[in-house]
Amino acid sequence: MLAGRAHADIPDLDSAVAHMGIGAGITFNKPTNNDGNSARGVAFVYRWHSFHSGWGPTFGIDWHSTDYNSANAPFGTLRTRALLAGYGHTKKIGRFSASASMSAGYSFNDFSVASAAGPTFASAGVTLLGVSVGNSAVLKPEVAAWYDVFRHVGIGVSAAYLVTRPSETLTTATGTQVLHLRGDEFELTAGVTVGVWKKR
């Protein structure tokens, strides 16, 4: 997601912010796990416009799905629903603004097994009974750049690295094995926002 930064000491929100922007964009995800598949999709983007530049808190969400393979065959899909908060810095020069932040949070995860996973395991002499993943802590460093095309319309791009290592429980006819799934991903997002809240 693309987001602006809020100053830590704002006594009057209405006098400090010009407006909030929401919009849409496109995102590209590339897992660092060799078994993960790259993906792209539509993203919801948001931004707090014209807060005082400088250090301040950050907030965000990261919802995406990643397909994984096993033995070069589809294994299943990991769905990540992360809520994030952190701290960052914004520098504004004219219509341009750039920011860097570090966020952490918690991810609610779910895993659905691909239909081809059972036959793939069976060909190796193993009966697959089920796969599940646990929720996990997440860490997300991010940089972003924005350009205000008009007073209430902005375009931006962000690059981030999401760190998440949920536990993975693999159940077969021979027993249960608990592993840590490396779900780290590089994320590139570009989008457009339109202001919905104007300063009086």
DSSP string spanning 75-142? EEEEEEEEEEEEEEEEEEETTEEEEEEEEEEEEEEEEEE-TTHHHHHHHTT--EEEEEE--EEEEEEE
Residues 6+ apart with CB under 8 A from 121: 70, 127, 128, 172
Mean of the pLDDT values across residues 89-118?
Answer: 92
The more confidently predicted of residues 77 and 4 is: 77
Domain boundaries, the chain: 13-110+139-162+184-195
pTM (whole model) above 0.85: no
Return the percentage of the chain with pLDDT > 90, whole number.
57
Closest CA to 52 of 92, 98, 19: 92
Determine the pLDDT at residue 43.
Answer: 87
pLDDT tens digits, 15-71:
444 456 789 999 999 999 999 999 998 888 887 655 555 788 888 899 999 999 988
DSSP state of 36: B
Let me know if domain 13-110+139-162+184-195 sits in CATH 2.40.160.20.
yes
pLDDT of residue 56: 80
Q: Does residue 113 register a pLDDT over 80? A: yes
φ and ψ of 152, to 5 deg? -120, 15
Q: What is the DSSP letter of 15?
A: H
Q: Which amino acid is at 76?
A: G
* Residue 145, pLDDT score: 93
pLDDT at residue 188, rounded to an integer: 96
Confidence class for position 186, pLDDT limits 50, 70, 90: very high
Which whole number is the average pLDDT over 97-111?
Answer: 94
Residue 49 pLDDT: 54
